[in-house]
Amino acid sequence: MFHEHLLIVLSLLFAVFMLTMLGQKLKISYPIFLVLAGLGISFIPGIPQIEIKPEMIFLLFLPPLLYEAAWYTSWNDFWKWRRPIGMLAFGLVFLTSIIIAYVSTAMIPGFTLAFGFLLGGIISPPDAVAASSVLKNIKIPQRLTTILEGESLINDASSLIVFRFALVAVMSGQFSLPQAVGQFFIVSILGIVIGLVIAHIMYLVHRFLPTTPSIDTALTLMSPYFMYMAAEEFHFSGVMAVVSGGLFLSYRSHEIFSTGNARLQTINVWATVGFVLNGLVFILIGLELPVVIRNMGADAMADGIKYGLVISLIAIVIRILYVFPIAYVPKWLGRNERADRRNPTWKGPVIIG
C-alpha cells in the first residue's frame, strides 16, 4: 500500500513538471493548465480515483503556502496599501459571502442560510497563485501587484473564518451573526498573537544560536507548522498565525540570515517547495472532479452546472462593482494613493476587478 501511494505521488510530481513546461511552451498560465490537465488525466481508463481529505490539505499544504506568500511580501508595501488590501481581503470577502448566502438560499431548493454562508466562505477569495501567475507576464504598476498579493495573503484567513462559523452553524443548526462577528475578532486577534509569539521564539533561535545554513532553512520549513498547529490547538485562526508570523520573520530576515549562503539556500529551497505544493494542489483539483461527480449523482449534474455558473457570475460581478467605489471614494484613499498619478485611475480598478 505504501509503495502504491509513493508511486502515485511521484507520478503526480513528474506530471506537474512536464505539464508546467508544456504550459510555459504554450504560454498558458500553469495553474489553469494543471487543473484542466488533471481533469483530462482523471478520465483516462485505469487511472485510480484520488479522494483527498480536507484535513490533509489544511495541515500539509496550507501552512507552507501561506508562509511562503507572507515571506515574499514586503511589510512596508503591505502597510502602505493596507486600506485597499483590507477592504478587499475582509470587506469584499464578507460582502460576497453574505450575498452568495442569500442568493443561493433563494435559488437552490432546500438550501439553508447556514449552507449559503458555507458556500460563500468557500468561493469568496480569489486564488493567490493563479493571480500571480497570470500577472507575471503583464507589465502593471507595482502598487497593483502589491494590493493583489496582499489581498490574496489575507483573504484566505477571512474566508476560512467565515467557513468555520458556517460549518458550526450547519452542524448545530444555529447561527447568530452578532456572535459570529464577535468570535471572528477573537479568533483572528488571538491567532495573530500566537503567530507572533512563535515567530519571536524562532527569531531568537535564528539570531542568537550557532545555526548553519541548513539548520536555518529547516527551521523556516518547520515554523509555519508550529504556528498553524499551535493556533488551531486553541481553536484560534491558524491562518492568521502563519500570516502574521511569516510577515514578522520576513521583516527581520536581514537579521536572521547573517550570511549570504543561508539566505540563498533558504530562498532556493522555498522556491522549490512552493512550486511543488502549488502544482500538486492544482492538479489534484482536476483529478478529484470524478469523485465529486460520483458523489453528486448523475441526476444532479445539470443543476450543479447551472447553479455553479450563476453563482460564479454573481461572485465576479460583485467584485467588479465593489472595486470602483473603493478606488474613487476619497475617504478610503491615503495620501500616497492620491499622489500616484502614473496611470489613469480607471485602469487600476479594472485590473484588480
- Report the C-alpha gap between 35 and 232 in whole angstroms: 30
Distance separating the N- and C-terminal Cα atoms of the chain: 46
- Report the C-alpha gap between 41 and 49 in whole angstroms: 10
Give me the residue label for grid cell 462559523.
Answer: 165
Cα 276–chain centre separation: 16
* Amino acid 339: pLDDT: 44
Among the ranges given (14-18, 57-61, 167-171), the one the predictor scored with the smallest mean pLDDT:
167-171
Give me the residue label for grid cell 481581503.
Answer: 89
Find the mean pLDDT for residues 156-178: 75
The pTM is what? 0.81
Q: How confident is the model at residue 96 (pLDDT cuts 50, 70, 90)?
A: very high
Q: Tell me if 238 sits within 8 A of 227, measured CB to CB.
A: yes
Q: How confident is the model at residue 229 (pLDDT cuts 50, 70, 90)?
A: very high
pLDDT of residue 233 exceeding 70:
yes
- Report the C-alpha gap between 28 and 86 in whole angstroms: 30
* Per-residue DSSP letter, 138: S
* Amino acid 149: pLDDT: 80
Q: By C-alpha distance, which of 122, 144, 149 is closest to 133?
A: 149
Where on the phi/psi map is residue 173: left (φ > 0), alpha (ψ -120 to 50), or beta? left
Q: Tell me if 157 sits within 8 A of 86, measured CB to CB.
A: no
Q: CA angle, corner 326, sides to 321 and 331, nearest 5?
A: 150
* Amino acid 192: pLDDT: 93
Give the architecture-level CATH label for domain 54-352. Up-down Bundle (1.20)
C-alpha cell at 200: 519571536
Go through 141-162 and write b for each residue having 16 or more CB atoms within 10 A of its CB, e for each that does not: eebbbbbbbbbbbbbbbbbbbb
* Amino acid 117: pLDDT: 86
Q: Tell me if 129 sits within 8 A of 34, measured CB to CB.
A: no
Give me the residue label for grid cell 453528486.
Answer: 296
C-alpha cell at 77: 508595501
pLDDT of residue 118 exceeding 60:
yes
Could you report the per-residue pLDDT of 287-340, keeping only the tens digit for each? 888 788 878 877 788 888 889 999 999 999 999 999 888 776 644 445 444 444
Q: Tell me if 70 sits within 8 A of 132, measured CB to CB.
A: no
Q: Tell me if 199 sits within 8 A of 251, measured CB to CB.
A: no
pLDDT of residue 131 exceeding 70:
no
pLDDT of residue 343 exceeding 60:
no
Where on the phi/psi map is residue 141: left (φ > 0), alpha (ψ -120 to 50), or beta? beta
The residue type found at 230 is A
Distances (CA, A) of 193 to 48, 234, 314: 43, 12, 36
Find the mean pLDDT for residues 119-141: 73
